[in-house]
C-alpha cells in the first residue's frame, strides 16, 4: 500500500501546483437562480462562514499554500473561485461567464492575477468559458467539459494556448452543469464520476484511466466536487460509499459540511482555484 501511495503521490505532484485561491463568503447568498440547485434557497450566512473557515483550515492542514482575493458585496458567487479561469504555470486564461449575474467577477479576478504577476489571457467575448469549473489539467492533457456553461470551441482554443492535448466531454444533465460537479480526478490513472452527467457513458475508454462510479445519491451530495492533493481528499459530507472505496486504496479522506454552498450548486472544489 505504501508503495502504491508513493507512486500515486508522485503522479499527483506532477499534475498540480500547491497553491489555492480562496474568497471568503462574507457576501455569499442565493439571490438569483442560474442552475437547478438555486431555487427558493435561504443561506445561513453564519453557518456558511463557519463551513468555509473549516474548509480553509483543512486545506492548509494538508500542506497547501492559500492565497486570497477580497469578496465583493454585489457578487455573491465570487466565493466559487474555481470558476475564475484556468491556470498553468503563471499563465491564466480568464473565464467569460455565461450569466450576467457573474460577469463582473471577471474584472476582479483579472486585477488580482495581474497584481500577483500572472500573465493574463482573455478569450474572445463570443465564447463562454467557466474556468476550472469545466476543465482540469492532467499531465499533458486538458480534460474539459462543455454543454451548459462552456463552449466546445473555447476548450479547443484553451488547449492550444496551454500547449495541451484535449479531451472534450459533453455534459447533458442540468444538475451537473460544470465538469467539477460530476468528475474528480484522483490521480493520473484514477478518477470518480457520475455516469448520468455525460453524453457518452463510456468514460473509462475516453479518459484512459480507472473510473469509479458514484451513485446518484452521492453525486447529489457533490462527492465529485472534492479537493485532491497528494494522498489527501477533502470531500463533502454524506458520501460514505465512495469515501470507503477511496480509503481502501490508501487515500486519506477529510469530510467537510458544505450544506450552505450546496444551496448554490457548489461545494469544496468549487470554492478553490488551483493557481
Taking only the tens of pLDDT, the chain with its 275 residues reads: 444 554 444 444 445 699 999 999 999 998 888 777 788 788 999 999 999 999 999 999 999 999 999 999 999 999 999 999 999 999 999 999 999 999 999 999 999 999 999 999 999 999 999 999 999 999 999 999 999 999 999 999 999 999 999 999 999 999 999 999 999 999 999 999 999 999 998 899 999 999 999 999 999 999 999 999 999 999 999 999 999 999 999 999 999 999 999 999 999 999 999 99
The domain tally of the chain equals 1
The grid coordinates listed for 95 are: 473565464
Candidates 135, 182, 224, 270; catalytic one: 270
Q: How many CA atoms lie within 13 A of 62 on its CB side?
A: 21
SS3 category, 80: coil
Active site residue 178: yes
pLDDT for the residue 201: 84
Q: What is the dihedral of CA 86, 91, 97, 101, to 10 degrees?
A: 100
Residue positions counted in the chain: 275
Residue 55's alpha-carbon distances to 23, 83, 112, 226, 258, in angstroms, are 12, 18, 22, 11, 9
CATH number at residue 160: 3.75.10.10
Separation of alpha carbons 92 and 90, rounded Å = 7
What residues does 223 pair with on adjacent strands? none
Candidates 23, 135, 178, 182; catalytic one: 178
pLDDT for the residue 271: 98
Nearest Cα to 175, choosing from 148, 150, 210, 200?
148
Separation of alpha carbons 12 and 22, rounded Å = 21
Residue 205's alpha-carbon distances to 59, 189, 226, 252, in angstroms, are 32, 12, 23, 27
The pair phi, psi for residue 94, each rounded to 5°, is -75, 150
pLDDT for the residue 40: 77
Active site residue 270: yes
Domain that includes residue 75, residue range: 2-274
Amino acid at each position: 500500500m505504501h508503495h502504491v501511495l508513493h507512486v500515486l503521490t508522485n503522479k499527483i505532484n506532477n499534475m498540480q501546483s500547491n497553491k489555492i485561491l480562496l474568497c471568503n463568503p462574507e457576501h455569499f447568498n442565493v439571490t438569483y437562480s442560474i442552475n437547478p440547485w438555486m431555487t427558493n434557497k435561504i443561506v445561513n450566512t453564519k453557518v456558511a462562514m463557519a463551513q468555509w473557515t473549516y474548509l480553509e483550515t483543512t486545506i492548509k492542514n494538508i500542506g497547501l499554500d492559500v492565497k486570497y482575493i477580497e469578496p465583493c458585496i454585489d457578487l455573491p458567487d465570487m466565493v466559487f473561485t474555481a470558476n475564475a479561469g484556468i491556470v498553468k504555470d503563471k499563465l491564466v486564461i480568464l473565464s467569460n461567464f455565461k450569466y450576467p449575474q457573474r460577469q463582473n467577477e471577471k474584472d476582479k479576478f483579472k486585477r488580482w492575477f495581474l497584481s500577483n504577476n500572472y500573465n493574463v489571457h482573455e478569450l474572445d467575448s463570443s465564447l463562454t468559458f467557466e474556468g476550472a469549473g469545466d476543465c482540469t489539467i492532467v499531465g499533458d492533457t486538458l480534460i474539459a467539459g462543455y454543454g451548459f456553461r462552456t463552449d466546445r470551441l473555447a476548450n479547443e482554443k484553451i488547449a492550444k494556448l496551454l500547449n495541451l492535448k484535449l479531451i472534450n466531454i459533453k455534459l447533458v444533465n442540468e444538475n451537473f452543469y460544470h465538469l467539477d460537479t460530476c468528475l474528480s480526478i484522483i490521480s493520473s490513472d484514477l478518477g470518480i464520476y457520475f455516469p448520468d452527467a455525460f453524453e457518452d457513458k463510456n468514460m473509462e475508454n475516453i479518459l484512459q484511466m480507472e473510473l469509479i462510479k458514484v451513485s446518484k445519491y452521492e453525486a447529489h451530495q457533490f462527492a465529485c466536487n472534492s479537493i485532491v492533493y497528494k494522498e489527501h481528499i477533502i470531500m463533502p459530507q454524506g458520501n460514505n460509499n465512495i469515501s470507503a472505496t477511496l480509503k481502501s486504496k490508501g487515500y486519506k479522506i477529510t469530510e467537510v459540511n458544505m450544506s450552505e454552498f450546496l444551496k448554490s450548486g457548489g461545494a469544496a472544489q468549487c470554492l478553490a482555484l488551483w493557481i
